[in-house]
Amino acid sequence: MPALLVGEVPLVLLVLVLLGSVLALRHVVAEVRVPSVGTGTTAWLLVGVQAWTLPLLAVVRESNLYNGLRQLLFMVPAMALLATLAIAAAVGAATRWRERSRRVAPALVLGVVALGLLAPTLDQVRLHPYGYAFATLPSYAVAEAADTDYWRTSARELAPSVPPGWVTCSPALDGEGRSLRRSLDGDEDCAHDLIGPLSAWADVRGDDPVAAAPLGPTEFWAVTAGPRRPGSNCVEVARVDRPGPLPGVGAVLGLPDRDVMARLARCALVLPERDGSTVTFGPGGDAGDLELGGWTAHATAAGVRLTGERGEVGLTAVGSWPDGAELRIGLVAPVAAGAVRVLVNGVDLEVRGAGRG
């Protein structure tokens, strides 16, 4: 939680919150020592309890706080009051300094307070409409710490650059750092998944006149969100980004010139290696890693079944495959001519069989 506070709360405001917390604590201590001195003890005690009691207990008990500070949003009103208390104290101190003819200190104090309020506002303008992607400067020192678009709302802006073809959102990486055509979202094309980030924008997908060439039969599109880059088997072709945290001068400090919300990359399929032996699909089978989407299985039935009109399997042939070797796939389908179409690496094959086989 302390790391998230430093990484997600504007630093000047966070300093003001901490200073306000100290001032509020002083008010409470003063009331305890000298009762009825009019310091608003009850009010500031309630504010402090709201801001810090549950967060401190969460730290002590190692509670499961994930995806930022969203479980601690109840802190924000109290933090705003504590920061305001600190601002009032700073302005009051600056006024007293002015009365003593010290001009530099008041201007410095007021400048810092103004910066604390202005800088986050400018960051919201810079990141619009992805204001939730804000991260403080220290976050950029940790690789991929600033998870700029966890919720992937930039898919709307990226959609016109996504040509037709299979899309995997947030692809998993293998041990060699290559993007796979599956992810934690599942093994299906996320552009057609009703709860996927791209399905709502299907009507504008591929409208970009400079969109990349159509996919080859052993390629797929990968969409990654935030600072995470696609794997080594991918080439980036489009992105959604915004100016970096310090436009124009950030590179001097090692900061990125742009904050990236989403990337579109063209990737080559990474397929499991198999020799010429027989493999079995379905419950108890050993071919699950060959399934590339479009299939479902049930524990009481042999094999796998299509979930729609199309399914894909993939492998890399290794070992001894002599000239004339055959790759046979057993299918059960209606016997009507043309009911089944099989393509290998994009090439149509003749489908033969007996009965429904």
Q: Are residues 161 and 236 in the same domain?
A: yes
Q: How far is CA 17 from CA 12, 52, 55, in A?
A: 9, 11, 14
Highest mean pLDDT among 126-130, 275-279, 342-346 belongs to 126-130
Buried b (16+ CB within 10 A) or exposed e, 32-63: eeeeeeebebeebeebbebbbeebeeeeeeee
Last residue of a domain, one of 203, 233, 268: 268
Where residue 335 falls among pLDDT bands split at 50, 70, 90? Answer: low
Do 310 and 260 share a domain, yes or no? no
Measure the CA–CA gap between 341 and 357, rounded to whole angstroms: 14
Q: Kindly state the percentage of the chain with pLDDT values over 70.
A: 91
20 lies in some domain: yes
pLDDT by residue (tens digit) across 276-287?
A: 778 889 888 888
| Residue at 161 is within a domain | yes
pLDDT at 21: 96
Query: Are 67 and 44 found together in one domain?
Result: yes
Judge if 285 and 172 occupy the same domain: no
Position 39 scores a pLDDT of 54
Give dist(CA 291, CA 283) in Å, integer: 13
Checking if the pLDDT of 2 tops 70, the result is yes
Give a yes or no: residue 163 inside a domain: yes
Query: Does 236 map to a domain?
Result: yes
User: Using 50, 70 and 90 to split pLDDT, how confident is the model at 242?
Assistant: very high
Residue 158 has pLDDT above 80, yes or no: yes
Closest CA to 345 of 218, 220, 215, 219: 218
Prior bond to 256 cis, omega within 30? no
Residue 338 pLDDT > 60: yes
Give the residue from 228, 257, 260, 255 showing the smallest Cα distance to 241: 260
* Gap between the Cα atoms of 328 and 324, Å rounded: 12
Q: How many CA atoms lie within 13 A of 173 on its CB side?
A: 13
List, for residues 291-303, the tens digit of each pLDDT value.
888 888 898 888 8
The pLDDT, as a whole number, for residue 3 is 85
In the listed set 97, 127, 157, which residue is the last one of a domain according to the structure?
127
Which structural domain range is residue 333 located in?
271-357
Same domain for 156 and 252, yes or no, is yes
pTM, entire model: 0.79
Residue 5, pLDDT > 60, answer: yes
Residue 145: pLDDT band (50, 70, 90) is: low
Whose structure tokens read 């729609």?
308
DSSP-derived letter for residue 212 is P
* Average pLDDT, integer, range 27-49: 78
241 and 277 in a common domain: no
Beta bridge mates, 236 = 265
pLDDT value at residue 211: 61
